[in-house]
Chain A
Amino acid sequence: MSGTRRKALLKVIILGDSGVGKTSLMNQYVNRRFSNQYKATIGADFLTKDVMIDDRLVTMQIWDTAGQERFQSLGVAFYRGADCCVLAFDVTNAVSFKSLDSWRDEFLIQASPRDPEHFPFVLLGNKIDMEANRAVSAKRHVTMAQSWCAAKGGMPYYEVSAKEAVNVEAAFQAIARDALARESADTSDFPELENNINLNENNRSSSSGGCNC
């Protein structure tokens, strides 16, 4: 529990093929707005949002990057220090689902997190509002995506619509919770950090108002 107080900023990276709706997802979650006039993202941009997760205020910094794999070389700069990675695909676009493997691998290579096996990923299937364009039925699609997630170490999967704000809030809440849980798991992996934090806790409780030095 002590570890959860360590960091109040969660860096979340949204990855996925061009046009799957990364910018829309980010904007829908942060600004609760949808526009069909978002331009293709060049370089990177991010939005921040303060959220309460279990009585704890967390600032989510959500990074939106260019979708074309050619721009992945920039990733090393943007992925640095990420706490969670959101993989997004377009449920009406089979290719965007196929690319997920490469996006995940590329992220793990470039961000090189401490513990790649357990780095928190979340899968979002966007554009469920465009049911008519689906190549496969929703039910089957869910099964398919879920089994992919299971194969990747139990990654959570959410079907969302950025356009109609379906499930977006819930998905990002879960993302934040996941990243936070991962945070505390991280600290328990490093006992010396835990000790430091305990010391701080002790200090906090012993000194009422101001430090002793």
Chain B
Amino acid sequence: MWQHVSAESTLFRRPQLRKERNASEIERDDKGEKGHDSGISSRTGSHSTSDWCASPSLPRQTRHGSVADVEETTPSTSQIRKAKLIDTLKMEVKILMEYAAGNASVDLNSGYVTSLCIAVQNCVMDGIRKRFLGLIGMKTSLALLHTVVKGFPSAQLVIDKTKEHETKDSCTSSSQVRWIREALHTRQLSTILNYMATSKEMHRLYDDDALLLDRAKSGMPAALLLGPCAISFKRMASDSSSEVLSRVEWTDRMRDHPTNGSTSSSRPPLSVKRQGSSLVSMERQSTSRDYVFSLHANYRSTLLYGKNNVGLEDSSGGDSTKGYLSLHKNFSADLTIRWTPNQLMTSSSQPNSATSKDEGKFQWKQAITIEMNQVIYIHLHQKQEESSSIITFVTCEGGQSPPLHFPSGQHSLVFLTALESGLTPLYRLDPPLSQDQCKEKALPRLRRRTSATNSSSDYVFRIVRLTSSAPPPPPTEDTQSDDFAPSVPPSPSNGFFSLPSSPAMLSSVDDLVNTHVGQACRSMQQQIMARAFFGWLSYVRHLRTVREHLMGLIHNKKITPEEDLPPVDEAFWSECTSKRTPELWDECIRRVYWAGIGSGKEEEDKALRRQIWPYLLGVFEWTENPEPKTTLFTEKYRDDVEEWRVLEAEVRRRDEEAFNAARARKGATPIREMSITSDVFDEDNEEKKDPKDQEWEDLIDKFGANLHRIEKDVERCDRALRFFSNAQNLESLRRVVCTYVRRNVDGDGYVQGMCDIAAPLLVIFQDEALTLECYTVLMDRMKENFPHHAGMDRCLSNLRSLVQVVDPQIFSLLSTSADFTQLYFSYRWFLLDFKRELPYDGVFRVWETIWACGHLQSKSFPLFFSLAMLTNYRDTIISNNMDFADLIKFFNDMTARHDVTRLLISARLHLSSLTSVLQTLD
């Protein structure tokens, strides 16, 4: 798997490198020496401890097709290294063979041969023992050859040849691969490598993980080189210039060696520096030849169309120069149009008949390359059907190519047909040349459809991308719309004509810059767009949640700005009681909401609350004097207590009766095992009662059950508090709750928790009648949250919606279950308005804020306080990824430890931000 990828990346990288090499041929950068050295050292220095390849179960494989099978298993570093070596060799062999297929003979000093030699060299040097190299005293693979000769005499010829040519050449740096070159020339390279891979004599020179000792791969170099050994090589120009060329290629190639790794460092510098030197002009001949070769018979691109004597109009106007026009399709399906002057073609094929330098330069400037992916329009001007035609290309930036003059005849049509077929499947010409398969009919059809009425016809073809349904944008908007269509190739920063002085280099750099920067920009744009979109989407969803669920929570949508009000103190309250104006009421409520009641002195605050709370709860009207009502309350309360006292006495009497009866029966009746429950605990007497007594009996039963429940809870209600350590106060509480239940006997009766709500009121009022009145008002709202009512589900649902809007992270934690059970940690909060969560002074503070808020903005302040409870601990909750049980435990453990002031601030903030959202929704 791994190695497939790496091999593929080599494949992809290779053409790029080839391009760069073309560039470096021209500008001769000789930093390569250094790269070469490091390449050698890193290669020989790499030792792998893996013995994976030595696995005996794997058969020795010499065909590279079987490499894939071996590579299925986990690759080690040495495996990757070897695979890279083989891949490089494969690539070089392929390139050379392709090149050789198109040429009668191959120059032994050409870059292709040198590249192959380097690859072979890298293979044979892989894993060689340092000791051996030191022993020989030569850091070249030539030493290896000397060893080979000992067991393989026919290699002597190669040594002789190598020595012969070595004496001729002053350039020693390439001597390392010279023997390989000579071995290739004498067609012995394959056999020599085969010997190296099989001979035991050679094996001792290598480390265990060497390529040539690899069971799977050792035979592959020899097998791969069978082909190149069949090529007929000839020494074209054994002068030093071609040698220099190959040296530079060689060093270039060394830096590209996979084990070196850094391909980017091999990119030639942008500037062309040494153009004036004689060295450069010497090289140009071979360079130009290579360039022309690469133009028209390229190993990495398919020639779709070629035509000689196509005229190119000079930019200065006037005469057109004849040249060779070709259309190429490269590996990534990009089309390239090249035009080269005829003179250059001849000079390149006959390097020795070179024209003068200046003329050559001029001709080089004329050669053009047009990348079709930058062309958006093709103009065809044709005077008559059979006359010569002119084709001009317009780039997406609006630039025009020099007009190409096609000879008379159908040449332009043939060219366009080739172009059209080359553009598929990604692009097409618009209008298309022909809609049926018959190519001959293309132009007449075309003429009928698009030509003008006069004899001279102008066609404009647009290049349309097929995959996008939208029509291509007009050229003027191209750079903009390009950004939003990732599939459109990036527009180049400079023109589409590559200057002949550095034809391949500029385009390669452009490609690199455009591809990488363009890709980066596009990916960033997409990410930004995606984020913006999802942000917007979630905002819209939240708004919907707000609209659907939270709209009704706030009755007053006027935003009250945070006020720095003092709390309600005695001075303010006495002003209120003396004037009782609506303005003072308003201020009083706002003061309670923002700052509370009292200044922190316990008893005084209680006294103030005692006076203010009934107004907040609506027991008294603002303009009302409390005295008359208080008296009424007290009288009514006394009467009610008297009334249920009778019931209580009756319940007590019956309890005692039943108890005694049970005890008595214990003695009288023998144990009857099978009907024990009914026997022991059945205290009902079987007597039938009068119907008019039935109502009374029901009342007694109902009240009795409630009385027992109340007593159980009152007994254990906040006994830690000093107020309730007093039995008389407990009795007060019991009376209040009993009276409440008696008054509402047809309601739910006593439900656990009711006593908790009454207790703080009694602590404040210390007056049973007033406590009961306030408690009744309070319970009108609170009883909705008790079981068998809808209030609790509404609270939990609203809390969930609020959390969803405010803190999606917590929400995702809470929404693991479809029902509200995940929110049950807040059950007690809503049931008792946080009475169990906070200490008493905190309860006072929160309760009066809730009541004041009901007058000001929202009846649902508990909801916002709950939200504050959640968000206040959000980091703890999220970092611990709390589940249902964790949340219950956490909040139970936090009981009475909350920072009430902070929670209130946070709750008020939540409320005002929801208010402002709702305001925008209106």
Contacts and interface: CB of A to CB of B under 8 A. Distances in A.
Contact of A77 (B666, B671, B821): B821
Interface string A5-31: 000000000000011000000000000
B719 A36 contact: yes
Given A43-B827, A68-B751, A144 B884 contact: no
Nearest to B825: A43
Interface string B674-687: 10110011010000
B362 interface: no
A144 B680 contact: yes
B659 to A, nearest CB: 5
A40 B712 contact: yes
B752 A97 contact: no
A143 B673 contact: yes
B888 A71 contact: no
Given A39-B836, A43-B824, A135-B663, A147 B709 contact: no
Interface string A43-71: 11110000000000000010000111011
Contacts of B470: none
Nearest to B835: A42
B712 A73 contact: no
B752 A98 contact: no
Interface string B826-857: 01100110001000000000000000000000
B889 A18 contact: no
A71 B674 contact: no
A1 B353 CA distance: 96
A40 B719 CA distance: 11
Nearest to A48: B889
Interface in A80-99: 94-95, 97-98
Contact of B716 (A38, A46, A70, A74): A38
Contact of B677 (A18, A76, A144): A144
Contact of A42 (B666, B681, B753, B821): B753
B829 to A, nearest CB: 9
Nearest to B725: A37
B699 interface: no
Given A18-B709, A68-B752, A70-B787, A42 B831 contact: yes
Contacts of A70: 748, 751-752, 786-788
Interface in B282-314: none
Nearest to B683: A94
Contacts of A73: 787-788
A46 B889 contact: yes
A36 B718 CA distance: 11
A42 B834 CA distance: 12
A94 B717 CA distance: 24
B101 to A, nearest CB: 49
Nearest to A37: B719
B671 A140 contact: yes
A144 B666 CA distance: 12
A97 B712 contact: no
Contact of B888 (A39, A44, A67): A44
B571 interface: no
B662 A147 contact: no
A147 B676 CA distance: 8
Nearest to A150: B673
B885 interface: yes
Contacts of A71: 752, 787
B681 A97 contact: yes
A11 to B, nearest CB: 9
A94 B671 CA distance: 17
Interface string B37-67: 0000000000000000000000000000000
B771 to A, nearest CB: 19
A98 B680 CA distance: 10
Chain B interface bracket (under 10, 10 to 19, 20 to 34, 35 or more): 35 or more
A42 B677 CA distance: 29
A137 interface: yes
Contacts, number: 106
B664 to A, nearest CB: 10
Interface in B711-768: 712-713, 716-720, 748, 751-753, 755-756
Nearest to A67: B752
Interface string A128-142: 000000011100100
A34 interface: no
Given A39-B717, A140-B671, A140-B680, A46 B888 contact: yes
A42 B662 contact: no
Interface residues of A, number: 35
Contact of A46 (B752, B836, B885): B885
A39 B676 CA distance: 33
B666 A37 contact: no
Nearest to A44: B888
A18 B749 CA distance: 15
B793 to A, nearest CB: 10
Given A36-B719, A38-B716, A98 B821 contact: no
Contact of A44 (B681, B713, B753, B824): B824
A77 B674 contact: no
A168 B774 CA distance: 43
A94 B831 CA distance: 30
Contacts of B885: 46, 61
B892 interface: yes
B822 to A, nearest CB: 8
A68 B710 CA distance: 11
Contacts of B677: 97-98, 144, 148
Contacts of B753: 40, 42
Contacts of A76: 821
B719 A74 contact: no
Interface in B652-676: 658-659, 662-663, 666, 671, 673-674, 676
A42 B828 contact: yes
A45 B681 contact: no
A143 B676 contact: yes
B721 to A, nearest CB: 10
A45 B752 contact: no
Contacts of B827: 42-43, 74
B787 A40 contact: no
Contacts of A98: 677, 681
A42 B754 CA distance: 11
A10 B788 CA distance: 31
B888 A147 contact: no
Given A37-B716, A66-B752, A135-B659, A148 B676 contact: yes
Interface centre among B676, B756, B892 (most CB of A within 10 A): B676
Contacts of A143: 671, 673, 676
Contacts of B676: 143-144, 147-148
8 contacts: A39-B717, A43-B828, A66-B752, A68-B709, A94-B658, A135-B662, A135-B681, A144-B680
Interface of A: 18-19, 36-40, 42-46, 61, 66-68, 70-71, 73-74, 76-78, 94-95, 97-98, 135-137, 140, 143-144, 147-148
Q: Which 9 A-B pairs have the closest CB atoms?
A: A77-B821, A94-B681, A19-B712, A135-B662, A144-B676, A70-B787, A37-B719, A43-B827, A43-B828
